[in-house]
């Protein structure tokens, strides 16, 4: 029984950590910037920035501050994600995906 409870606890912990930061993605999209552009301005690799936005990594204070400066928001939102401040920047998931579709286009040659 305890092993099963431990397994469920680990799965819940993973699910919480791996939640996309829709508020961050929406701020970036509203700024009309790509992952690559933000990462370059922040001074991190694109893959690392993507992991931060996807909720796979939590940035250090220094990186959070730089992301906040680049995207013009209060960097402490990374550490207040369950607060009303972070929720203010969130849209529902369907709106996020609709807005993101416009970001993934192929430019004509």
Give the residue extent of every domain in the chain. Answer: 20-100
For residue 8, give both structure tokens: 């469920």
With residues binned 3-state (H G I as helix, E B as strand, rest as coil), the percentages for the chain, rounded to 5, are 65, 0, 35
pLDDT at 89: 56
Per-residue pLDDT of the chain (109 residues; tens, 9 = 90+): 555 554 444 444 444 445 788 899 999 999 999 999 999 999 999 999 999 999 999 999 999 999 999 999 999 988 886 655 555 555 545 555 565 555 554 444 3
Contacts of 99 (CB under 8 A, 6+ apart): 26, 29, 91
With respect to CATH, is domain 20-100 assigned 1.20.1730.10?
A: no
pTM for this entry? 0.64
């Amino acid at each position: 029984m305890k092993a099963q409870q431990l397994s469920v606890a680990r799965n819940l912990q993973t699910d919480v950590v791996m939640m996309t930061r829709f508020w961050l993605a929406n701020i970036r999209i509203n700024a009309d910037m790509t992952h690559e552009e933000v990462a370059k301005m922040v001074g991190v690799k694109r893959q690392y920035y993507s992991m931060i936005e996807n909720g796979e990594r939590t940035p250090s204070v220094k990186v959070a501050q730089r992301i906040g400066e680049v995207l013009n928001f209060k960097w402490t939102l990374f550490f207040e994600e369950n607060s009303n401040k972070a929720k203010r920047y969130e849209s529902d998931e369907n709106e996020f995906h609709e807005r993101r579709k416009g970001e993934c286009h192929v430019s004509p040659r």
